[in-house]
Amino acid sequence: MYSIDHPLTKESIGKSFRFLQKLFESEGNITLGVAKDALMMHETILDKKNLALKEFALSLHSKGIAAITLHTTLTIEELLSFHMMISEKDTPMGPALLEVAEQRGLRDIKLFPLDLSKFKFVEGSTRRDGLENTFWEDYVSGLLEGRLEGEDMGNVIENVSPEAIAGVINKSTPGESAGKSYDTVIASYLGGMGPEDQKAALFGKFLTMIDHLTPELKQQFLTKSFTAPSMDADEVVRLLRELPVDDIDRMMKVFNEQSSLLPEKLKNLVDKLKSSSTDVFGEIRGGGIQHLDDISVDDKIVKSFQEVRDNTYAEKRYHEDLKKMAESPRVRNDKMTHELEAACSGEIVDMAVSKIMLELLNVQSSSREEYQKLLSRLTDFASGFIETGRFSEICDIYNTLYTHAQTGAFREETSQKIKSFFGSEVFLVRLIDAFQMWGRHNKEGVINISRVLRSYVITPLLDKLSEENNTFVRRFFLDVLSKMGDEVALEAVRRLDDPRWFVTRNMIYLLRECEGSKFIGRIRPFAKHHHEKVILEAVKTLLHFRTPDSISYLRLYLQSDDPSLREQTIRLAGTHKVKEAVPYLIELLEKKPAFGAELSYKGSVVKALGEIGEPGALKILHKICASTSLLHRSELEKLKIEIFETLHRYPVQDVKPLLESGLKSRITTIKSISERLLNSSGENRD
């Protein structure tokens, strides 16, 4: 985007050069393989989600480069020159690029161009040096398994024998997209059929490839080939007039075996060929191609066949280069190596690139188109950051764009990009999915980005909360939403009347946590809701905002005949330390037990009173500790222990008489608690 003399370009290349110098110390010469949109090092594919590495790989691939080696003697001038060379649009590709590199003095950067013509298939030959696969075999296998796209398949069929391709197809394990992959192979042979002078040759190769497939695959390919729109029967008829006799014989063999798969027009032609004498072949040829023995072969063609024979495999030098690429150098397991690996991680590289791009936004752009390209690259980075939960980088991108939308030279373009990207359903769905995946590890990051993007995130996040079945995920979403303030409260109050009780409860929770006191009038009616959990959430919210009627609702449910609702209200009074509730709690303790039924909740009352710590409750507690019971002895002892376990919450001087009586208790636990509390208060009883 910027010239080689631009300060930011030089700064970026300078950083890269300094990093390479460190890497050279542990690695020596560095070789990177290029696989379209990915780089390989030590037989390992580097981070494919790293947009900077992906763009570099695509740039090299577009220039026809299969690999690159950087020597330890590399200079920053060579790195700058190399950057300029691969950035130029009119730079030649493949082997021709080597000449340009040599002219520019790039002695310490060695390029390996992609040259499929170096690979030949010779029947009966074996591979040397233990190499298990050639790169084109890996390409075809990757295509069939759904791991690669098929843009380069045309080059493969042009330079690799159909027998070899059939062999790879027979051995491959097709992925879920096998049908699409087979279509790509067929289209490379038959789709459009290429220039007129190559049609017959490609069709002949296709027949050879079909003939070498397994019966099952042969059937699949024929079905797809001659019934697909890309293959017209009339086209086949015209091609037959151009085929040599040997190709017609092979075609007849294939058609005889799979005649049921052919279109009607082709069947009629095959029947004619079956029933006719050899003169029919002359009719088919139509004088287009003479018998092979009649062809006057040009001397250049003879020489070409000799070269094929003499160069069964790649040239020796080329083969040695490939072998070096395949070898995995041993890496020392030292501290420097680990530090370099960390510095090489996709996270660090992407972070550095995104920061540079953000800086570029502050440079006066020369054109609107240039600026829009930069915006698109930044949003591409934001998409990549979602996958790895790097929310702070997304925040940086958004905040920078937002600033430019307010004060920049291209405010309208930036505003539109913000809305179309950050406000898009695709982005928001992926972002919220990332919250679930990375929230446990980066909760602060989730909260920060939610605040920054709150105008976009609130609605889909509330929708997700309403649908989520996992309790822990719901709690996490509630926690995130509760940190987002007034805007959440405005949306929550609109959802209070949702027929699902749990949605209503969660909206009341958010109104309380977001300090939505102005909506108290909308919350109050839910204190009489039909569902217990909604009631408790509403009463809790009334207590939080200290409304005059909150104590009345608390008293109402402390006296409820519903054991569960009463139990929860007791805990609510203790949690909120509601001193006004102490008289009603004491009433519960004073109620006479009926065959042990009432003792089940009195422990909760004792704990609630302890949470409040009101000295006025000690009188009833002392009375319980001094009482006896023949019918409920075990339950009473448990209640006494619970009383002593809460005494540390009251003023020391107020509980001292009760602690001193506890020293004489026959219950070991009570005696131990009393000694400990008295000793900690400075009362030494030894």
Position 583 scores a pLDDT of: 94
pLDDT given for residue 545 in this prediction = 94
Please check the confidence at residue 340 and state whether its pLDDT lies above 60.
no
Please check whether residues 160 and 35 belong to one and the same domain: no
Q: Is 427 part of a structural domain of the chain?
A: no
Whether residues 142 and 272 share a domain: the answer is: yes
Same domain, 104 and 239: no
If you write DSSP's letter for every residue of 205-266 in order, what string do you get? HHHHHHHTS-HHHHHHHHHHHHHSTTS-HHHHHHHHTT--HHHHHHHHHHHHHTGGGS-HHH
pLDDT at 170 over 90: no
Predicted confidence (pLDDT) at residue 312 exceeds the cutoff of 60: no
Q: What per-residue string of b and e applies to 198-217 under the rule 16 or more CB within 10 Å gives b?
A: ebbebbbbbbbbbbbbeeeb
Q: Domain for residue 371, yes or no?
A: no
Is residue 557's pLDDT more than 80? Answer: yes
Higher pLDDT, 45 or 335: 45
pLDDT at residue 509 in the model: 96
Q: Is 0.95 surpassed by the pTM of this model? A: no
CA–CA separation, 152 and 87 (whole Å): 22
For residue 94, pLDDT beyond 90:
no
pLDDT at 389: 85
**Domain identity same for 641 and 591:** yes
Residue 417: inside a domain: no
pLDDT above 90 (res 143): no
Residues 598 and 686 both lie in one domain: yes
Q: Quick check: is 337 in a domain?
A: no
Shared domain check, 158 and 299? yes
Range name among 186-195, 449-458, 558-567 with the lowest pLDDT average: 186-195
Last residue of a domain, one of 81, 115, 149: 115
Q: Quick check: 43 pLDDT over 90?
A: no
Same domain flag for 573 and 626: yes
d(CA 441, CA 86): 40
CA distances to 88, 101, 224, 305 from 161, rounded to whole Å, are 35, 32, 21, 14
Residues 103, 154, single domain; the answer is no
- Pair 202, 138 in one domain: yes
591 within domain boundaries:
yes
Q: Report pLDDT digits (tens) over 486-495.
A: 899 999 999 9
Q: pLDDT by residue (tens digit) across 171-211?
A: 776 555 556 667 777 776 665 545 555 666 777 777 788 87
Same domain, 296 and 216: yes
C-beta separation of 488 from 482 below 8 A: yes
The pLDDT > 70 percentage for the chain reads 64
- Give whichever of 130-144, 207-221, 286-300 has the largest mean pLDDT: 207-221
- Boundary (domain end) residue, out of 61, 93, 115: 115
- 141: in domain: yes
pLDDT tops 90 at residue 428: yes
Query: Over the chain, what is the mean pLDDT?
Result: 75
Residues 65 and 145 occupy one common structural domain: no
Angstrom distance (rounded) from CA 462 to CA 409:
36
158 and 270 both lie in a single domain? yes
Is residue 34 a part of any domain in this protein? yes
The answer on pLDDT for 519 being more than 50 is yes
The number of distinct structural domains making up the chain is 3
Please give the residue range of the domain that contains residue 173: 120-305
Exposure pattern of 219-237 as b/e (b: 16+ CB <10 Å)? ebbbebbbeeeebebeebe
> What pLDDT, on the 0 to 100 scale, is given for residue 569?
95
Where does a domain end: 89, 115, 141?
115
User: Half-sphere exposure of 209 toward its Cβ, with a 13 Å CA cutoff?
Assistant: 27
